[in-house]
Amino acid sequence: MSTAQQRKLDSIKSDLFSGDDVLVAKAIARCEEEGAAPIVEPLLAFYASGAPISLKTRVADMLGSLKVSNVESYFLQALANPEWKHIHKDVIGFMWNTGLQPVDAVGHISELAASGDYALTLECLTLLESIEDPIPEEQLLEGIAVVHRALSECTDNEYKMLLSEYMNVLNYQRSQTDLMS
């Protein structure tokens, strides 16, 4: 990233977290114009903050419709951030909406599905079902192990059915990987 690009990003970050709704709205508009991958991190941080709903909705719309390459790592970093656990479901939704294929993160996404609530698990299932690229076998095996353990410990029948469906998709993906080998 050039110095000019870094200054622009720093200016956007500063305005996003200024607390001044007018500056924040302008920063969001600049993000829409910018359309570069590095804006995803500050937008996710803003979305995770206690900002007004109207501004967060604009950011959510933008994050869910990005057509920029190299954004997957920013979403995955957000999923690894335990302080942003309250937005993990939304981040998975943004990933699905933008058509990402996080094949190297299926194990981690399966951990989220197995340890989350029904809504998060449903979002993870939707993302998993949308993956068309081949998933590495070690990611599938990790996901299968995690979900299997969660299934054996689960007492909620509705959630157990959802986890079972998730497991079915993992097993299907694994059978497709085996067929391609």
From the centroid of its chain, how far is CA 60?
12
- Quick: pLDDT tens for 153-181: 999 999 999 999 999 999 999 998 767 66
Q: Is residue 64 part of a domain?
A: no
- Confidence at 6, pLDDT banded by 50, 70, 90: confident
Q: What total of structural domains would you count in the chain?
A: 1
Residue 111 falls inside a structural domain: yes
What is the percentage of the chain residues whose pLDDT exceeds 70? 98
How high is the pLDDT of residue 34? 79
Q: pTM of the entire structure?
A: 0.93
Structural domain contains residue 70:
no
At residue 177, the pLDDT reads 77
Mean pLDDT of 109-125: 95
CA pair distance 30, 157, nearest whole angstrom: 47
User: How far is it, in rounded angstroms, from Cα 73 to Cα 55?
Assistant: 24
Phi and psi angles of residue 97, each rounded to the nearest 5 degrees, phi first: -60, -35
11 lies in a domain? no
114 occurs within a structural domain? yes
Q: Give the angle subtended at the CA of 76 by the CAs of 57 and 163, to the nearest 5°.
A: 90
The residue that leads in pLDDT, 44 or 6, is: 44
Is 32 part of any domain? no
Q: Residue 83 domain-assigned? A: no
Q: Given this model, what pLDDT does residue 28 score?
A: 92
Decide if 73 is inside a domain: no
Residue 180 structural domain:
101-181
For 49-71, how does the pLDDT look when each residue is reduced to its tens digit (9 = 90+)? 988 999 999 999 999 998 888 89
